A and B are shown apart, each in its own frame.
Chain A
Amino acid sequence: MKYVLSFTVNGQPMETLAEPTTSLLDVLRDKLEVTSPKRGCESGDCGACTVLVNGKAVPSCLTVALTVAGSEITTVEGLVQDGQLHPLQRAFYEHGATQCGFCTCGMLMAAKALLDRNPSPTRDEIVLGMSGNLCRCGGYVQVMEAIEDVAGRKYEVKAADTRGGK
């Protein structure tokens, strides 16, 4: 049966219905039309579905939607603030860190979670932090460079910058 599910997505309160076994990915994409997290595998093996729940990166295809009721979900749609690209988005764009782009949204959220936790990671820490995101086009080097670029600028990240409205 369907249960009422309420949470915040990118600062906006949302309410929908979900079955017990429906994934957060399916709720976001099919019910709430938040399509940035992608369906790469539906088994937690690729990272294309990565979103943040209360600031932590999760594989949304493996997250039972009802378990995150009341949480703050952040997706790529929430990265642009007041019409400005998030530094990670800008860096990915400038460094050519996208090819087909299908892995990009998952990469961005994983990178954001990494930098929110550790604003100045070493290259090894970046590799480990991004280890859950696959790219079949082979864009890993540019992704690393984009993240290093943002980290190198000592970018100031607020832990919950989707709050507070516009």
Chain B
Amino acid sequence: MPNAEYFATTELREALRLLAERGDQITVLAGGTDLAPKFNCRELQPGALLYIGKLGLNYIIAKNGGLAIGAATTLEDLATSRLVLERAPVLAQAAAEMGNPAIRNVATIGGNLVTASRAADMPPPLLALDAELILVSERGERVIPIGEFFKRAHKTVRLSDELLTEIRIPSVKGQTAFVRHGRRKIFSCCVASAAVRVVLDGGKCADARIVAGSMAPTPVRCLGAEGVLKGKNLTSDLAGEAAAQAVGECKPIDDERASAWYRRRVIKVLIERAINQASGL
């Protein structure tokens, strides 16, 4: 676009002003790994870019027993952060399996959430951790539980004048696991993923989160599968039962990476594996 504009302010106030003024007419740019391929082939020709890399949104802070993560935090920082590995290892695990080292140096957690691809890897672990997202605008601040953030593929509740600034992970109990499947082991878009958290109370499962990724337009909290585990002693058989239940809660599609048929079979294995790993079975 001949008269495209570029803004890279260091002031959040200025960024919010631009968003309030221009809304959909300005494209928010974080790492750019989702947007740049579209710029390169001219599929996207934005009239204005708002680069948020200078707003100081790249941070990982201990907060209230959990974490506060800036939206512009890179995947590499997430994958290697001592704090994340201590308090939310499932998030570090997911980040470490995304893309490749160079992409992880540039891509951000916020970008992955806002792009909201069906195959996004950050949503499932965040759902398992009961995360909250902070959306900020000139009108104020909204705190959105992650389960309410995604409307459908590529669409979130973020309004055009809002900026995702922070991801908050509360202090959560339990053990987690993340298992991901792609056409290749590394550097491959997600075909199906499972993020699981189980809270064990003397051998019984007091609480559970079972999340399937890349299995529906948005990440799926498999509530029925969680119900299978709650209040019971966890065994491999029970894990299998829960996984079988979860399959019915997903709505996979055929796409260039895999068929729905295949995804249904894979997610059953992944969820069972994740439950077993999380429970130490």
- A interface vs B, CB < 8 Å? 1, 3, 19-21, 23, 42-44, 47, 50, 53, 56-59, 61-64, 66-67, 69, 110, 113-114, 128-129, 131-133
| Given A1-B2, A67-B8, A67-B29; A132-B100 close (CB under 8 Å) | yes
Please report the C-alpha to C-alpha distance between residue A43 and residue B6 in the assembled complex, in whole angstroms. Answer: 21
Please report the C-alpha to C-alpha distance between residue A147 and residue B33 in the assembled complex, in whole angstroms. Answer: 27
CB-defined contacts of A42 to chain B, threshold 8 Å = 37, 40-41
| Given A43-B37, A67-B8, A67-B32; A62-B106 close (CB under 8 Å) | yes
Chain A residue at minimal CB-CB distance from B186: A131
- One of B46-54, B56-64, B130-138, B208-216 at the interface: B46-54
CB-defined contacts of A59 to chain B, threshold 8 Å = 33, 102-103, 106
Please report the C-alpha to C-alpha distance between residue A64 and residue B111 in the assembled complex, in whole angstroms. Answer: 14
B101 at the interface (CB under 8 A from A): yes
B45 at the interface (CB under 8 A from A): yes
- How many A-B residue pairs lie within 8 Å, measured between CB atoms? 99
B24 at the interface (CB under 8 A from A): no
Q: Are B101 and A110 in contact (CB under 8 A)?
A: yes
Of the candidates B3, B46, B101, B106, which one forms a contact with A21 in the assembled complex, judged by CB atoms under 8 Å apart? B46
- B interface vs A, CB < 8 Å? 1-6, 8, 29, 31-33, 35-37, 39-41, 44-46, 48-49, 51, 53, 76, 99-103, 105-106, 186-187
- Most chain B beta-carbon contacts within 10 A, residue among A47, A64, A110, A133: A64
CB-defined contacts of B31 to chain A, threshold 8 Å = 62
Chain A residue at minimal CB-CB distance from B96: A128
Q: Are B5 and A132 in contact (CB under 8 A)?
A: no
Q: Are B8 and A21 in contact (CB under 8 A)?
A: no
CB-defined contacts of B101 to chain A, threshold 8 Å = 57, 110, 113-114, 128-129, 131-132
Q: Are A44 and B103 in contact (CB under 8 A)?
A: yes
Please report the C-alpha to C-alpha distance between residue A50 and residue B103 in the assembled complex, in whole angstroms. Answer: 10
Chain A residue at minimal CB-CB distance from B187: A131
Task: Identify the 9 closest CB pairs spanning chains A and B, nearest first.
Answer: A132-B100, A20-B6, A21-B39, A43-B37, A62-B36, A57-B102, A42-B40, A131-B186, A56-B105
CB-defined contacts of A62 to chain B, threshold 8 Å = 31-33, 36-37, 103, 106
CB distance from B262 to the nearest CB of A (A): 22
Q: Are A132 and B187 in contact (CB under 8 A)?
A: yes
Of the candidates A3, A23, A47, which one forms a contact with B36 in the assembled complex, judged by CB atoms under 8 Å apart? A23
